[in-house]
Structure 1
Amino acid sequence: MTDLAAAMTGEGCRAEPFGEDHRAMLIAACAEDRDIWAIYSSSFDPDHFDESIDALSANPRNHVLVLFDGDTLAGMASFLGIDPARQTLEIGATYYRPAMRGTGLNARVKDMMLERAFSCGFRRVEFRVDRRNERSQAACKKLGAVREGVLRADRITWTGHVRDTVLFAILKDEWPIAGAPAA
């Protein structure tokens, strides 16, 4: 069985497990759009990056990945809340540099990550999105994820905002989505 957290490649993209050698370049990438962090649960802007990435990485139920489009640093994403007993995990904490948005990279990365999760024996992959984040909700729908509902007042974000979370999921037997490229 493939290790969930191992490096992976997809269609013109790849992911590597986060390591200290990625820290400086990921801080710089996350600084390219400081305004976006207002709709994230945690901020990865330069003022908060170290604390946020360290907390995310320290949780043994998470695997943080650094994303590349070809050889260009594209951003980050993670497997979160990994629960082998329930065969469920979340793909989240995703950030793309502004130049990478709208290029089709997200679909290629998510295809790669979904293929890895399902090949590792997970039966359900969730996406949890701030209700205010319309771009991410649209991306989940485009992937073929089913909108399952809204978790009202689900969490308090780093800004103190009480967030409503829109829950999406894809089940193993729904993958690959008809018409979606296989990873």
Structure 2
Amino acid sequence: MSNVFNPLGQLLGMPVTDWQGATRPTPEVRGGRFCRLEPLNPSVHAKDLYAAFSLDSEGRNWTYLPYGPFESFEDFTSWLIGCGQDQDVLFFAIINLESNTPVGIASYLRISPEQGSIEVGHLNFSPLMQRTPIATEAMWLMMKEAFALGFRRYEWKCNALNRASRRAAQRLGLSFEGVFRQAAVVKGHNRDTAWYAAIDCDWPAINDALTHWLSPDNFDAQGRQRVSLSSLTRPLLVAVG
């Protein structure tokens, strides 16, 4: 469906008929083959998460986040408790099914059911899940849930200097949409913010690519991928950057 003109000859966007809005995500467990997402609970997850994040001894994971690294377990736990008090953000602990322990954090934020837009963020993948299928499957579970709830737009934003995050967004099939210059001041430094997104009409092809990559047939006996995810998703990107 394309854009239309009104009776004044002015160009309008394409019609969105019978739009009822999306359904707000709820704090429920979401499971896959390699991991499950559990609503973040400091009393349950804090100890193992702190241990997992402490494996990042240089604090690289925290460089582009507006908080952390934390000097003590108590400081980290206080931060986790605060996460649960933000009504606009829904945090999840990412659980490794093999060890049954939390190895990372992810969240939904800027949740706008009335506009059909939702963002994934507050991503912190400990060394225990980096470069493993857990990282990809966790993001697939988040994206799949968002589109199943009727959201039209799924966003990923990161510091424009965070090349790893930018590559990850595009590897997952989210298209580059531009950079907002001087979007924020974070830890005393300027932050330009890079925007990536997938929309509902993108999702079927992205889902097929992610499902194909995550399937058991795509891994050999040593757990090595046969086909890279980037080779499956790059043709789907509207723009790269």
TM-score after normalising by structure 2: 0.69
**If you compute each CA radius of gyration, which structure gives the higher value, 1 or 2?**
2
Deviations 1:93-114 (A, max 9, x none): 1111113211132211111111
**Alpha-carbon spacing, 1:162–1:2, altered in 2? closer, same or farther (3 Å):** closer
In structure 2, the gaps of 5 or more residues are: 1-22, 215-241
Deviations 1:79-102 (A, max 9, x none): 011111111111111111113211
Task: For residue 172 of structure 1, report the CA deviation from its aligned partner.
Answer: 1.7
Match of 1:179 among 196, 209, 212: 209
RMSD over aligned CA atoms reads 2.1
Report the residue type matching 1:9 in the other structure.
G
8 A contact 1:87–1:121 mirrored in 2: yes
SS of the residue 1:6 aligns to: coil
CA distance in 2 between partners of 1:46 and 1:67 (Å): 22
Report the residue type matching 2:70 in the other structure.
D
CA distance in 2 between partners of 1:8 and 1:107 (Å): 14
Deviations 1:132-154 (A, max 9, x none): 21111111111110110001111
CA distance in 2 between partners of 1:131 and 1:50 (Å): 29
Report the residue type matching 1:8 in the other structure.
R
Structure 1 residues 3-82: aligned runs within 5 Å: 3-19=25-41, 20-33=43-56, 34-47=59-72, 48-70=75-97, 71-82=100-111
Task: For residue 180 of structure 1, report the CA deviation from its aligned partner.
Answer: 2.5
* RCO higher in structure (CA 8 A, sep ≥6): 1
Are 1:117 and 2:142 counterparts?
no
Task: For residue 3 of structure 1, report the CA deviation from its aligned partner.
Answer: 4.5
Report the residue type matching 2:165 in the other structure.
S
Task: For residue 51 of structure 1, report the CA deviation from its aligned partner.
Answer: 4.7
8 A contact 1:30–1:45 mirrored in 2: no
SS of the residue 2:111 aligns to: strand
CA distance in 2 between partners of 1:114 and 1:171 (Å): 10
Q: Percent identity?
A: 27
8 A contact 1:30–1:46 mirrored in 2: no
Q: Which runs of 4+ in 1 moved over 4 A?
A: none
8 A contact 1:118–1:172 mirrored in 2: yes
| Structure with more of its chain in strand, by fraction | 1
Are 1:139 and 2:168 counterparts?
yes
**Alpha-carbon spacing, 1:152–1:14, altered in 2? closer, same or farther (3 Å):** same
CA distance in 1 between partners of 2:151 and 2:26 (Å): 10
| Corresponding residue of 2:198 | 170
In structure 1, the gaps of 5 or more residues are: none
CA distance in 2 between partners of 1:108 and 1:63 (Å): 18
Q: What is the number of equivalent residue pairs in this alignment?
A: 182
8 A contact 1:62–1:79 mirrored in 2: yes
CA distance in 1 between partners of 2:24 and 2:161 (Å): 35
